[in-house]
Amino acid sequence: MENITFELSTAHQFGSAYFDYLALRKKFFVDNLGWTIPHNDSVEMDQYDNPLARYSLVLKDGKVIAGARAMSTMAHWGDHTYMLRDAQMGKLGTIPKMLDAEIADPKVWECTRLVIADEVKSMRERTTCLALILDGLVQMAEREGAETLISLSNLWLLRVLRKLGYDAALMCDPYVNADDGHKYAVMSIQTMPTLQELPRATHRPQTAAVHAPAV
């Protein structure tokens, strides 16, 4: 397995990887979970897939098998900021207001659309995928001055993050997603893992040039 990271302006350096990630999102979030989110027959893509987004993907034998998206909580693109802040402002009907206050801090990034392909069966391989994704996100975030990731995710992620050595904590009570019936909550993830003796990803990311977002 290997990790690649990029933004929209550098996605072409990795062939069809970006499109393949969008297709994987469609298969998981729309076909499997039944989420009512923007998509067509091939891909799932929304307003946060814009030039301010950063991507960390995992490839195995050249095929995208996992990935995630992230952006600064200072992001503004048209009428949108980032997902959780837009939810706080009532712009997203499918996500309730989760936090007591809006977050707009250059040291905080939001991670969204974390997905691992169903074909990745073993817990060891799935954990390796997550470690690789996070390695990529953390390196990009730290390079742009961030210290914390926040993510509205399934509760299972918190347990796995802690096993990987990350200082992760819930920021709110969970809610039940009306589309899939699963519980989700906002969690914070410090970019530096706390248990240095735990094994991290064995392949360091191949990283395309990343530029500071326009705020």
The helix-helix angle for 123-143 and 156-163 (nearest 10°) equals: 80
Taking every pair of C-alpha atoms in the chain, what is the biggest distance, in angstroms?
44
101 falls in which pLDDT band (50, 70, 90)?
confident
Asked if pLDDT for residue 48 goes beyond 90, the answer is: yes
Residue 148: CB atoms within 10 A of its CB come to 17
What pLDDT, on a 0 to 100 scale, did the predictor assign at position 165? 87
CB 75 within 8 A of CB 213: yes
The answer to whether residue 109 scores a pLDDT higher than 60 is: yes
Residue listed under structure tokens 């990745």: 120
Amino acid letter at 123? M
The pLDDT score that the predictor gives to residue 192 is 67
What average pLDDT score do residues 39-50 get?
Answer: 96
pLDDT reported for residue 196? 40
The Cα–Cα gap between 99 and 172 comes to: 6
pLDDT at residue 20 is higher than 90: yes
In this prediction, residue 203 has a pLDDT band, given cuts at 50, 70 and 90, of very low
The answer to whether residue 26 scores a pLDDT higher than 90 is yes
SS (H, E, C) the chain: CEEEEEEHHHHHHHCCHHHHHHHHHHHHHHHHCCCCCCECCCCECCCCCCCCCEEEEEEECCEEEEEEEEEECCCCECCECCHHHHHHCCCCCCCCCCCCCCCCCCCEEEEEEEEECCCCCCHHHHHHHHHHHHHHHHHHHHHCCCCEEEEEEECHHHHHHHHCCCCEEECCCCEECCCCCCEEEEEEEECCCCCCCCCCCCCCCEECCCCCCCC
- Tell me the average pLDDT of the chain: 87
The pLDDT of residue 93: 81
Pick from 104, 181, 195: nearest CA to 146: 104
Is residue 47 scored above 90 in pLDDT? yes
Closest CA to 172 of 188, 149, 157: 188
Q: Is the pLDDT of residue 162 over 80?
A: yes
- Residue 164 pLDDT greater than 90, yes or no: no
Structure confidence at residue 195 as a pLDDT band (50, 70, 90): very low
Per-residue pLDDT at 214: 22
Is residue 197 scored above 70 in pLDDT? Answer: no
Residue ranges and CATH numbers for the domains of the chain are 2-206 (3.40.630.30)
pLDDT of residue 193: 57
Q: What is the rounded distance in angstroms from the CA atom of residue 42 to the CA atom of residue 22?
A: 8
Between 101 and 116, where is the model more confident? Answer: 116
